[in-house]
Amino acid sequence: MTSARILLIEDDAILRDAVDIILSQVGHQVTGVGSGEEGLAQIGRVDPHLVLLDVRLPRMSGVDTLRAVRKAGHKMPVLMLTADNSPATVRDVLADGGNGYILKPFEPEQLLRRVQATLAAA
């Protein structure tokens, strides 16, 4: 898949813009939002091939957002963005239906490799 619709749920606007630029440059269509609630509202509209989801979000955490995505029956892959690779966080992400995580900070090439590999496996 050369071009995919990607929903990016990240509260850091600078990082959200950077990820949008990185992924858009290779042809992906990125919709960025700043909260779990906004992300859940956009899923039906965007119909993403992939969700990139920050673990630490205001109000509704990324893990809670992931749980809500799966509870609603959405099957698309979800990659978590996190600075916390503690065993508990990784366990929660995988147990709740996440397809992996990308450790912050990351290089653009790392992000592209993980996104492409996840899309190819979907």
Q: What is the mean pLDDT of residues 7-18?
A: 97
pLDDT at residue 118 is higher than 90: yes
pLDDT at 2: 72
Return d(Cα 77, Cα 12) in angstroms, integer: 22
Percentage, residues of the chain above pLDDT 90: 87
Give Cβ neighbours of residue 119 (< 8 Å, ≥ 6 apart). Answer: 1, 4, 49, 50, 77
pLDDT at residue 1 is higher than 70: no
pLDDT at 86: 86
Domain 5-121 has CATH 3.90.280.10: no
Report pLDDT digits (tens) over 24-46.
Answer: 999 999 999 999 999 999 999 99
Please say whether the beta carbons of 29 and 3 come within 8 A.
Answer: yes
Report pLDDT digits (tens) over 47-84.
Answer: 999 999 999 999 999 999 999 999 999 999 999 999 88
Q: Enumerate the domain spans of the chain.
A: 5-121
Alpha helices in the chain (DSSP H): 13-24, 36-46, 62-71, 87-95, 108-121
